[in-house]
Amino acid sequence: MEKKDNFFDLGLSNKILEVIKQKGFEIPSPIQVLTIPILLKNEKDIIGQAQTGTGKTAAFGLPIIENTEKNGITQVLVLAPTRELAIQVAEEMISFRTNREIGILPVYGGQSIEGQLRRLKKGVEIVVGTPGRILDHLKRGTLRLGQLSYLVLDEADEMLNMGFIEDIEKILSQTNEDKRTLLFSATMPPRIVKLAQNFMNEYEQIKVPAKRLTVDLTDQIYFEVNSSDKFEALCRIIDIEKEFYALIFCRTKLKAQHLGNALSDRGYAAAALHGDISQPQRERILDQFRKKKIRILAATDVAARGIDIQELTHVLNYSIPQDPESYVHRIGRTGRAGKRGTAITFITPSEYRKLMHIQRAANAEIRKEKIPKVKQLINMKRKRIIEEISEIIEMKTFGDNLHIAYELLGNHKPDELIAALLTHAYKDDFSPEKYAKIRGVKATVENTSPDLKGTTRLFIALGNKNSITKKKLVDMIKKETLIDSRLIRDIKVYDNFSFANVPFAEAEQIIKAFRKMGGKKKPLVVKAKSEEKKRKTNFSKSRRKRRY
């Protein structure tokens, strides 16, 4: 495939290229490079396999907008698994349509059907909807799919997982045969392949190799704090950053709501999103978040599904993710569209091992940083104020305030006047008392050892006679299990065997990994209790023999 480093090479019109430029897209993603030329130039259907967050909406949306004209007939149907994704796809396609008044309507459950009926009656060229609500309109006769140019199945495997496959088949059966069908999916389970074979014409299959789990444009860091200090640490991070437009992940609905309220009370433009939020309220919050009227959104994993905002500067794990997949899914929300982003994770000292497991499994580089000091925050605020005031002077955007300045200068010294104005405007912003104290964590895992509460002693049937040293033993265990070598402690190597202390969970992992290596009669690694008991028993027997 010929390498294409810009959107111009893909064959898009100048109007569309101008829209792309305005949106800040710089380099097309692999799925866009593969899909756009095919959609623009030939008549084949497409099966596209690519991960979520790789730019699929632009991949199909840009050429579809290019080839769609306003005529009041539904020419395009995009099926999405969730209402959130349907809204996002519709909004993204609206942003692509240049100055043409092509009708684009999101259709989903939980929204007033009367409003949808009015829009459909007027005529809509592109409908983006969830399978259930699309079927409702087909049964009512308020949506006709007999003149489609394009049918798009977005996140097909997700729709399969949610039980929509039969609904999709019913919808497909009511569409015209000469349409072009585009199926996008992160995975290709047999049922999706069968769906493609039954309902698609001659198709071209394109696949974007799955990237490593992390995002190259995302700077990944973590802060080690006590649970009670997380909120204060978060506020300091927000204050030290020049821009903070973030999604903050919490483990529970209660925690998300509490955090959203606490941030609002502190003066930040923040809100919460979770399962107890009503659909109208949810849509209102997301709309404000997209428009940056709300700049910080505290959310649960479930509530955040389908949120896809390109400009996020930060994703913050207020609660550590449950597994590497969740971590990757969360941090993938930033560092998009060629822009850098920052992923921050808060951990308590006892969560260090879990973070290291996530780091290894996700093939990530997560570095430790220190919470900003109060003095740093105050200095940063002063610096920004000087920059902002200097910009106002350079741009001469002070308006009618020049008259007040002349009046004040006539009665006061310039330095005292500026100091008074700063005090009036910023009040206690420069006061260290505004910030609560953050306690230092006890002996961090980087300086000493990981938390070894709840350890067991292992017996290893190798010793000096097997050329085993402490280092060789650690390297051997690490090679077979990938556990953190610092978890292997108090190693003793004797002629015929060795001992080592490890936490319970890692002990089971090591025993399982070495079970086959020693044979059935004599496992290479076992818990030491049985061996020590055996040794004590043999020692007692030898003493009894010597006595009698």
What local confidence, expressed as pLDDT, does residue 454 receive? 62
Number of domains in the chain: 4
Average pLDDT over residues 1-8: 65
What local confidence, expressed as pLDDT, does residue 519 receive? 54
* Shared domain check, 383 and 420: yes
Band the pLDDT of 328: cuts 50, 70, 90.
Answer: confident
435 or 211: whose pLDDT is higher?
Answer: 435
**CB under 8 Å to 539, separation ≥6 — which residues?**
none
Average pLDDT over residues 34-56: 83
Residue 503 pairs with which residues in a beta bridge? Answer: 455
Kindly state whether residue 1 falls inside one of the protein's structural domains. Answer: no
Number of H helices and E strands in the chain, helices first, is 20, 18
CA distance linking residue 409 with residue 497, whole number of Å? 87
Cα angle: 399, vertex 401, 406; to 5 degrees: 130
**Does residue 249 have a pLDDT over 90?**
yes
DSSP 3-state assignment of 343? Answer: strand
What local confidence, expressed as pLDDT, does residue 130 receive? 92
Which domain-ending residue is among 356, 374, 392?
374
Kindly state whether residue 27 falls inside one of the protein's structural domains. Answer: yes
- Looking at this protein, which amino acid is placed at residue 324? P
Band the pLDDT of 258: cuts 50, 70, 90.
Answer: very high
For CA atoms 445, 446, 447, 449, give the dihedral sign. positive
What local confidence, expressed as pLDDT, does residue 390 receive? 81
What local confidence, expressed as pLDDT, does residue 162 receive? 76
Kindly state whether residue 443 falls inside one of the protein's structural domains. Answer: no
* Shared domain check, 171 and 59: yes
413 or 3: whose pLDDT is higher?
Answer: 413
Kindly state whether residue 280 falls inside one of the protein's structural domains. Answer: yes
**Which residue's structure tokens are 């050892």?**
449
* Shared domain check, 160 and 108: yes
CB 108, CB 85: distance < 8 Å: no
DSSP 3-state assignment of 201? Answer: coil
**Does residue 105 have a pLDDT over 70?**
yes
Band the pLDDT of 429: cuts 50, 70, 90.
Answer: low
Give the CATH number of the domain where residue 298 resides: 3.40.50.300
* Shared domain check, 156 and 12: yes
What local confidence, expressed as pLDDT, does residue 259 receive? 94
DSSP 208: P
Band the pLDDT of 442: cuts 50, 70, 90.
Answer: low
Average pLDDT over residues 68-72: 90
Band the pLDDT of 24: cuts 50, 70, 90.
Answer: low
Kindly state whether residue 2 falls inside one of the protein's structural domains. Answer: no
Q: Exposed, middle or buried, 73 (CB in 10 Å: 0-12/13-18/19+)? A: middle
417, containing H or E segment? helix 414-426
Q: What is the pLDDT of residues 216-246, one digit of tens each?
A: 567 899 999 988 889 989 999 998 888 899 9
What local confidence, expressed as pLDDT, does residue 504 receive? 77
Kindly state whether residue 448 falls inside one of the protein's structural domains. Answer: no
Give the CATH number of the domain where residue 501 resides: 3.30.70.330
**Which residue's structure tokens are 């099966």?**
47
What local confidence, expressed as pLDDT, does residue 543 receive? 45
Band the pLDDT of 74: cuts 50, 70, 90.
Answer: very high
**Does residue 535 have a pLDDT over 60?**
no
CA distance linking residue 231 with residue 196, whole number of Å? 49
CB 220, CB 366: distance < 8 Å: yes
What local confidence, expressed as pLDDT, does residue 338 receive? 58
| Integer angstrom CA distances of residue 221 from 121, 135, 355, 371, 422 | 52, 46, 11, 11, 34
CB 48, CB 182: distance < 8 Å: yes
* Shared domain check, 267 and 200: no
**Which residue's structure tokens are 């059935």?**
520
Kindly state whether residue 349 falls inside one of the protein's structural domains. Answer: yes
What local confidence, expressed as pLDDT, does residue 548 receive? 36
Buried b (16+ CB within 10 A) or exposed e, 414-425: eeeeeeeeeeee
CA distance linking residue 89 with residue 61, whole number of Å? 8
* Shared domain check, 462 and 428: no
**Which residue's structure tokens are 């780091």?**
359
CA distance linking residue 194 with residue 198, whole number of Å? 6
Band the pLDDT of 453: cuts 50, 70, 90.
Answer: very low
Can you read off the two tokens belonging to residue 134? 């699309």
Share of the chain above pLDDT 70, in %: 85
List the domain range (segments joined by +) for residue 190.
Answer: 7-207
What local confidence, expressed as pLDDT, does residue 546 receive? 42
Kindly state whether residue 190 falls inside one of the protein's structural domains. Answer: yes
* Shared domain check, 387 and 369: no
Q: What is the pLDDT of residues 342-384, one digit of tens each?
A: 999 999 887 887 888 888 777 778 899 988 888 878 888 788 7
What local confidence, expressed as pLDDT, does residue 510 receive? 87
* Shared domain check, 130 and 70: yes
Q: What is the pLDDT of residues 464-515, one digit of tens each?
A: 888 898 888 888 888 777 777 778 888 888 888 898 888 877 788 888 888 7
What local confidence, expressed as pLDDT, does residue 532 receive? 44
**Does residue 252 have a pLDDT over 80?**
yes
Residue 493 pairs with which residues in a beta bridge? Answer: 498
Can you read off the two tokens belonging to residue 201? 């014409």
* Shared domain check, 150 and 100: yes
CA within 13 Å, CB half, 42? 11
Cα angle: 231, vertex 237, 242; to 5 degrees: 145
Which domain-ending residue is among 149, 179, 207?
207
423, containing H or E segment? helix 414-426
* Shared domain check, 189 and 105: yes
- Looking at this protein, which amino acid is placed at residue 412? H
* Shared domain check, 277 and 354: yes
CB 293, CB 330: distance < 8 Å: no
Average pLDDT over residues 283-305: 88
What local confidence, expressed as pLDDT, does residue 101 receive? 80
What local confidence, expressed as pLDDT, does residue 433 receive? 65
**Does residue 160 have a pLDDT over 50?**
yes
CB 503, CB 454: distance < 8 Å: yes
* Shared domain check, 223 and 159: no
